[in-house]
Amino acid sequence: MEYYRSYYTEALELSKTLPDEQSELYKRHFIPLPLEQFAERIENAGGGEEDILLSTLAKSAFENLNIKFDVLFGSTRHITNSADCIKIVDASDITEEHVSKKLFKSGDDKMVAFIHAHARRIVFIDVPDGMAVDINLLFANSDIPLSTQVLVQVGREARLNLFEWYASKSNSISLMSILHEIKVGEYGKADVNMVHNEDQNTFVVNFSKGQVLENGLLNINYIYNGGIGSRAKNQVSTTGYQARSNVIELVLGSGKQKFDLSTIISNVGNNTLSGLESKAALTDESVCILKGFADVGENAKGSRSFVNERGILLDKRCYMSSIPGMSIKNSDVKATHSSATMPVDEEALFYLMSRGATKAVAQKLLIAGFLSSSIAKMENPAVKVAVSSLMQEKINNKRFGTVPALDISNLWGDANAQTDDMFQGHYKYRELK
Amino acid sequence: MKLEIKDLHVVIEGKEIVKGVNLTINEGEFHVIMGPNGSGKTTLAKVVMGYPSLKVTKGDILVDGTSIKAMSADKRAKLGLFLQFQNPVEVEGVGFVNFIRAAKESLTGTTTDIKQFMGEIRSYTEKLAITNGIIGRSLNLGFSGGEKKKAEVLQMAVLKPRLAMLDEPDSGLDIDAVKVVATNVQEIARKDKMALLVITHYSRILSYMNPQFVHIMADGRIVADGGHELVMKLEKEGYDSFVNSKK
């Protein structure tokens, strides 16, 4: 308790003093967050109504998409159905040992400091060596902002399938803020899926850091479908020999939704592989900024790194900026990055229409196709179904923030799609096949 | 279905490509248009299908007496028109079979029985000697030139249009594949009472087909009409004798 007080006070002070994001893009497009109001609401929250919200969301997710959650997290309380490998520590019980395991420091960012100061809990997911476990979590905020830290540790030769569904029901502007810290041990594998489907009053803050040790594999799929605004800062480091990481970011924007996603993939160790595939399909007045960066370290001999950003714009009013970047400090590596944003391909549109599809249906097919080639690469079938259903609901009805009906009509898994070759199709590396 | 093209003039990016074409295709008839490169054959087929950046400056296109000039491509498809593309676009993430099924449902306004539908697809893949691999792929993505042509014929067979326009169905095919495509196209058309308009440079494919009407197109106009004897004449004399002639 004593430690928590000093830790909390330090983070709280930092959250007040650290500057907001200073970039021009941020100032021009993003929503200033009333953090003091949020903090006040969190501190004064009772939370009795949250049980109803959590139960309702869990019930509809089960009925529509057949997803059973192990733990339901509200802003102030949680409901545990199954707790294999999960330990939930109330913020007031955190110790110096807990904090020493963290990859994030409060000084990293204003929102990190805010989450450190206001998170009601730390969720520890610890998969012991050699064990395999599937975990499904629901996070839901109401008018009371939700701040939580999730610390994941996957042991040697262990395997984790983690599916996190983010939802909300709020009447005024609220916040979903999550910090993830994921460590994958030697020969371990983690498949982490974060599906954001918050309502139109919720601002999403999703920060994560991942670290992969020797011969480990970390697949992270970030799906941004809901929320009025989303800000993400993610970093995945392949530190051990032959460690691999594959990151997929999918954005489907409509209305006035805004997304600011910044992801760094770092090759630290020898013969490592890091890949980032970011895709955004935007309509109406939505805005998306994708910043993907590959950082190849000086000890990353024989490593491969890949950043691929793609955008499709369906309306003249939407805006996208994709900014791929690289820093390479070793000469014996293969690294590539690419970026392309375009309106719907007129030739493809005509082709589909010539077979009888209306313009609207043809556009929907093209967006679904654009996204589903990435969805096909996701390994967890339940995630594929949930994401496909969400996307279909958004494409067909521009609705988000509710649990959609199951719809996999356009979910297409290309039999020839390769999930582990990040250089697929890139002319420079075709000879690698 | 009766397709009438009347004094059609078509412009793309300010350049006139089709310069007054007249052509009538009645129900179940088999027509061929031959001509050298750049004579306007593909443009003619595309404008009939409703390609958006082609502008009709004069003339009309009628289906069963009704002008379709203002109709979008999907409405023309619903009337029964079909265009087999010379270079079909590749669409990542849209499944080949899923798409044909969606197109069929869109054209017929009914839902398909998936078992029966897959049976139909398989029967045509066997007839057309298509490897089953393409069924599991995205639409036209990574298909070889020959696979693309055969996949287009498969779509034609399943969608059952009333008039199918085939733009160079033989290009990119080896000798055996030309025979397979040609015989199947003719058989499908005959079975479904489909009218055909085949566009080609070469007479090779026509040795396996029996068109009733052959038209030679040069410089945006139809410069000669006839039957199979025109193909023989072309074989002997080439296009030169037609290029500067007037109909």
Tell me what pLDDT residue A9 has.
80
- Residues of chain B with Cβ-Cβ distance to A371 below 8 Å are 93
Tens-place pLDDT, residues B70-111? 999 999 999 999 999 999 999 888 888 888 988 998 898 888
- Residues of chain A with Cβ-Cβ distance to B141 below 8 Å are 414
Q: Is the pLDDT of residue A127 over 50?
A: yes
Q: Choose from A41-55, A82-96, B139-153 the range with maximum mean pLDDT.
A: B139-153
- Residues of chain A with Cβ-Cβ distance to B89 below 8 Å are 345, 347-348, 351
Q: Which of A364, A367, A365, A388 is nearest to A376 (CA)?
A: A388
**Alpha-carbon gap, residue A149 to A120, rounded angstroms:** 9
Please compute the mean of the pLDDT values over residues B172-185 and round it to a whole number: 89
Higher-pLDDT residue of A8 and A262 is A262
Please compute the mean of the pLDDT values over residues A149-159 and round it to a whole number: 95
Q: How far is A221 from chain B (nearest CA, A)?
A: 18
Q: Is the pLDDT of residue A33 over 90?
A: no
Query: Is A100 near chain B, with CB under 8 Å?
Result: no
Query: Is A433 near chain B, with CB under 8 Å?
Result: no
Tell me what pLDDT residue A420 has.
47
**Alpha-carbon gap, residue A335 to A267, rounded angstroms:** 10
Q: Is the pLDDT of residue A248 over 50?
A: yes
Q: What is the mean pLDDT of chain B?
A: 91
Cα→Cα distances A43→A113, A145, A189, A198, A384, Å: 16, 10, 38, 22, 37
**Alpha-carbon gap, residue B32 to B229, rounded angstroms:** 12
**Alpha-carbon gap, residue A184 to A181, rounded angstroms:** 10
**Alpha-carbon gap, residue B134 to B143, rounded angstroms:** 7
Tens-place pLDDT, residues A356-401? 998 988 988 898 889 888 888 898 888 988 898 888 888 888 888 8
Instruction: Tell me how many residue pairs between chain A and chain B have CB atoms under 8 A apart.
Output: 106
Torsion of CA A271, A273, A274, A276, to 10 degrees: 150
Query: Is B114 near chain A, with CB under 8 Å?
Result: no
Q: Is the pLDDT of residue A431 over 80?
A: no
Please compute the mean of the pLDDT values over residues A328-356 and round it to a whole number: 93
Please tell me the number of Cα atoms within 13 Å of B218 on its side-chain side: 16
- Residues of chain B with Cβ-Cβ distance to A353 below 8 Å are 50, 72-74, 77
Percent of chain A at pLDDT exceeding 70: 91
List, as one string, the DSSP characters of A281-297: EE-TT-EEEEEEEEEE-
Please compute the mean of the pLDDT values over residues A315-340 and round it to a whole number: 92
- Residues of chain B with Cβ-Cβ distance to A368 below 8 Å are 93-94
Query: Are the beta carbons of A203 and A105 closer than 8 angstroms?
Result: no
Higher-pLDDT residue of B247 and B11 is B11
- Interface touch B159/A348, C-beta < 8 Å: no
Tell me which DSSP letter residue A33 carries: P
Please compute the mean of the pLDDT values over residues A63-70 and round it to a whole number: 90
List, as one string, the DSSP characters of A40-100: HHHHT---TTHHHHHHHHHHHHHHHH----SEEE-SS-EEES--TTEEEEEGGG--HHHHH
Tens-place pLDDT, residues B116-148? 899 999 999 999 988 767 777 889 988 888 889
Tell me what pLDDT residue A415 has.
45
Task: Tell if the pTM clears 0.90, that is, is over it.
Answer: no
Query: Are the beta carbons of A153 and A125 closer than 8 angstroms?
Result: yes
Tens-place pLDDT, residues A168-207? 999 999 999 999 999 999 999 999 999 999 999 999 999 9
Q: Choose from A3-17, A272-286, A405-419 the range with maximum mean pLDDT.
A: A272-286
Please compute the mean of the pLDDT values over residues A47-57 and round it to a whole number: 80
Torsion of CA B74, A362, A321, A222, to 10 degrees: 180
Query: Is B49 near chain A, with CB under 8 Å?
Result: yes
Q: How far is B245 from chain A (nearest CA, A)?
A: 34
- Interface touch A412/B155, C-beta < 8 Å: no
Q: Is the pLDDT of residue A157 over 70?
A: yes
Please compute the mean of the pLDDT values over residues A123-145 and round it to a whole number: 94
Tell me what pLDDT residue B186 has.
93
In chain B, what are the domains? Answer: 1-80+162-178+194-247 (3.40.50.300), 88-160 (no CATH)
Both tokens assigned to B9: 């003039």
Tell me which DSSP letter residue B209 carries: -
Tell me what pLDDT residue B232 has.
85
* Residue A428, φ and ψ in degrees, nearest 5: -65, -25
Tell me what pLDDT residue A102 has.
73
Reduced to 3 states (helix: H, G, I; strand: E, B; else coil), residue A359 is helix
Please compute the mean of the pLDDT values over residues A50-65 and round it to a whole number: 87
Tell me what pLDDT residue A242 has.
96
Q: Which of A113, A93, A87, A99 is nearest to A2 (CA)?
A: A93
Full 3-state SS string of B20-72: EEEEEECCCCEEEEECCCCCCHHHHHHHHHCCCCCEEEEEEEEECCEECCCCC
User: Pick from A354, A409, A414: which is nearest to B137 by CB?
Assistant: A414
Q: Is the pLDDT of residue A329 over 50?
A: yes
Tell me what pLDDT residue A412 has.
55
* A2 Cβ contact list (under 8 Å, min separation 6): none
Tell me what pLDDT residue A407 has.
76
Tens-place pLDDT, residues B24-77? 999 999 999 999 989 999 999 999 999 999 999 999 999 999 999 999 999 999
Q: How far is A31 from chain B (nearest CA, A)?
A: 34
Percent of chain B at pLDDT exceeding 90: 60
Q: Is the pLDDT of residue A433 over 50?
A: no
- Residues of chain A with Cβ-Cβ distance to B50 below 8 Å are 350, 353-354
Number of helical (H) and strand (E) elements in chain B, helices listed first: 8, 12
The confidence band for A100, taking pLDDT boundaries of 50, 70 and 90, is low
In terms of CA atoms, which chain B residue is nearest residue A364? B94
Those of residues 13-32 in B touching chain A at CB distance below 8 A are none
Tell me what pLDDT residue A224 has.
96
Query: Is B71 near chain A, with CB under 8 Å?
Result: no
